[in-house]
Chains A and B, each alone.
Chain A
């Protein structure tokens, strides 16, 4: 046992730059591949509903507006989203992607809703493209 083993380390840090970041005024960069909020690229969506089926939080909702015109509406309830990116993995055409925003809080659940209206795309799924 030694008395004051910690003192050199403490004194050394007295004039060092703090390790903490003055958060709301300066921000750290998020790494590549960070899982932010999901978003849709409607030009690629083939409405296979894989994301809707696999989403653990039931945050994705796809409804048909006009079946004949192949018009669909997709709603992502970001208030329920748990940012697991399973929709990105499930999507066969890379229509779902994650952005890198992390300051997404809001005063109302409704403001967190994201909505797309689009015509179903005709794209070959990833697995078929490879083969």
Chain B
């Protein structure tokens, strides 16, 4: 008996709304279909109305977990457009925050994987230790989630000796705890039984379906923007690209835990070799007409921003390709022929950040069920038709 199970848009396994329609035969999945667009925020359009500086904070709010990755990606692009050379110390601090963010994101993922597998104790412990990283981030940037440390031409806050010592001390605890989780996650029988062999993605498929980040690296392909196309100070920092060749969810967990240790090494190296000097250079308010593509290795994979300027203080176009979007095709492949019980794990294994990846809305006619996608031109025409002849407002009216 075949029937369709809707997972989402609202489902306990999903932290954000997405529609997964799964055709099952008993407990076995025969087909899967993804529906996007429940969380579209019109972010790229909004970016065109804000200045370069304001857009940093907009880019930061694309994602909560990898907020720093989006700002860094954006800021790097803008610096290229403005032909700025950020000072060394600024770049070191920027990379430091990036690696701290990777640590917090991977610890978070471990906890989520535990929760999706019903291993709540593991979830509680990893999240408890994630607090250490969150506290470091809070002390050095002033906020736990949206760090706001990047600015065009460098960073906004400097590190002092006390903070450096605090981070180095905390790193020791984190190393010990991560070692423990590595042992635990790979030896607890019921947990391993859930992860091993689940969500198989062969290396060929991984490349063909453009998977990125830990999903790709768990299929044995060492691809990492930090190594392949170094940005910030990754050229100077010694580290390895971690891979696993099991091609399953366990491999993805192992890759992430290995990356934790690499991140600890990078953080230690950065703090010990922190150069003196200024942290930022002054940025102009306008950028010459040009276009640029900026790449960044977010905790979830490769993040791409395309920025086009037109000589004003606002971008002409900002296009964001979040890593999750690249992994969706691979997810469908992984889900097929799995069990219903594995859906949350497989889906969580790509570490989905759903609203980061929402770039289109498909319009569904509620009566006929007909779906269509409205192209940009039609949208523009529609908006012009509505706003034609009306007064332009600078400040949006709030529903007060």
B187 & A84 in contact (Cβ 8 Å cutoff)? no
**B395 neighbours in A (Cβ, 8 Å):** 58, 61
Minimum CB–CB distance from B118 to chain A (whole Å) comes to 14
User: Which of B55, B60, B151, B180 is within 8 Å of A89, CB to CB?
Assistant: B151
**B384 neighbours in A (Cβ, 8 Å):** none
A82 & B57 in contact (Cβ 8 Å cutoff)? yes
* Interface size bracket, A side: 20 to 34
> CA A3 – CA B187 in complex, angstroms?
8
User: Which of A10, A19, A84, A90 is within 8 Å of B57, CB to CB?
Assistant: A84
Report if A71 contacts B (CB, 8 A). no
Report if A31 contacts B (CB, 8 A). yes
Identify which of B9-17, B142-150, B337-345 touches chain A: B142-150
User: Which of B54, B187, B400 is within 8 Å of A109, CB to CB?
Assistant: B400
A86 & B121 in contact (Cβ 8 Å cutoff)? no
Question: From residue 3 to 30 of chain A, which have CB atoms closer than 8 A to chain B?
Answer: 3, 5-6, 9-10, 19, 30
Using A5-B183, A5-B187, A6-B184 as known contacts, say yes or no to A86 and B143 having CB atoms under 8 A apart. Answer: no
Using A5-B188, A82-B146, A84-B146 as known contacts, say yes or no to A89 and B156 having CB atoms under 8 A apart. Answer: yes
Report if A115 contacts B (CB, 8 A). no
Question: From residue 76 to 131 of chain A, which have CB atoms closer than 8 A to chain B?
Answer: 77, 79-80, 82-86, 89-90, 98, 109-110
Report if A43 contacts B (CB, 8 A). no
> CA A82 – CA B143 in complex, angstroms?
11
Minimum CB–CB distance from B120 to chain A (whole Å) comes to 12
> CA A98 – CA B143 in complex, angstroms?
12
> CA A31 – CA B143 in complex, angstroms?
9
B183 & A35 in contact (Cβ 8 Å cutoff)? no
**A58 neighbours in B (Cβ, 8 Å):** 395-396
**A90 neighbours in B (Cβ, 8 Å):** 53
Using A19-B128, A35-B143, A83-B143 as known contacts, say yes or no to A1 and B187 having CB atoms under 8 A apart. Answer: yes
B139 & A31 in contact (Cβ 8 Å cutoff)? yes
B143 & A56 in contact (Cβ 8 Å cutoff)? no
**Residue with the greatest number of chain B CB neighbours at <10 A, chosen from A3, A5, A34, A54:** A5
**B55 neighbours in A (Cβ, 8 Å):** 56
Question: From residue 38 to 61 of chain B, which have CB atoms closer than 8 A to chain A?
Answer: 50-51, 53-58, 60-61
Report if B157 contacts A (CB, 8 A). yes
> CA A34 – CA B180 in complex, angstroms?
32
User: Which of B57, B125, B143 is within 8 Å of A34, CB to CB?
Assistant: B143
Closest to B53 in A: A54
User: Which of A1, A19, A98 is within 8 Å of B189, CB to CB?
Assistant: A1
Using A1-B187, A6-B184, A83-B143 as known contacts, say yes or no to A55 and B156 having CB atoms under 8 A apart. Answer: no
User: Which of A5, A31, A54 is within 8 Å of B138, CB to CB?
Assistant: A31
Closest to A83 in B: B143
A10 & B400 in contact (Cβ 8 Å cutoff)? no
B142 & A109 in contact (Cβ 8 Å cutoff)? no
Question: From residue 184 to 231 of chain B, which have CB atoms closer than 8 A to chain A?
Answer: 184, 187-189, 192
> CA A105 – CA B258 in complex, angstroms?
41
Binary flags per residue of B327-352, CB closer than 8 Å to A gives 1, else 0:
00000000000000000000000000
Question: From residue 136 to 172 of chain B, which have CB atoms closer than 8 A to chain A?
Answer: 138-139, 142-143, 146, 148, 151, 156-157
**B122 neighbours in A (Cβ, 8 Å):** 6
B58 & A2 in contact (Cβ 8 Å cutoff)? no
**B151 neighbours in A (Cβ, 8 Å):** 89
**B388 neighbours in A (Cβ, 8 Å):** none
Minimum CB–CB distance from B136 to chain A (whole Å) comes to 10
> CA A109 – CA B399 in complex, angstroms?
10
User: Which of B57, B125, B139, B192 is within 8 Å of A86, CB to CB?
Assistant: B57
**A6 neighbours in B (Cβ, 8 Å):** 121-122, 184, 188
A33 & B400 in contact (Cβ 8 Å cutoff)? no
Closest to A98 in B: B142
B142 & A82 in contact (Cβ 8 Å cutoff)? no
Minimum CB–CB distance from A38 to chain B (whole Å) comes to 12
**A35 neighbours in B (Cβ, 8 Å):** 142-143, 148
Can you offer 6 A-B residue contacts whose CB atoms are under 8 A? A5-B184, A31-B142, A34-B138, A84-B60, A86-B57, A98-B142
A binding-site residues for B, Cβ under 8 Å: 1-3, 5-6, 9-10, 19, 30-35, 53-58, 61, 77, 79-80, 82-86, 89-90, 98, 109-110
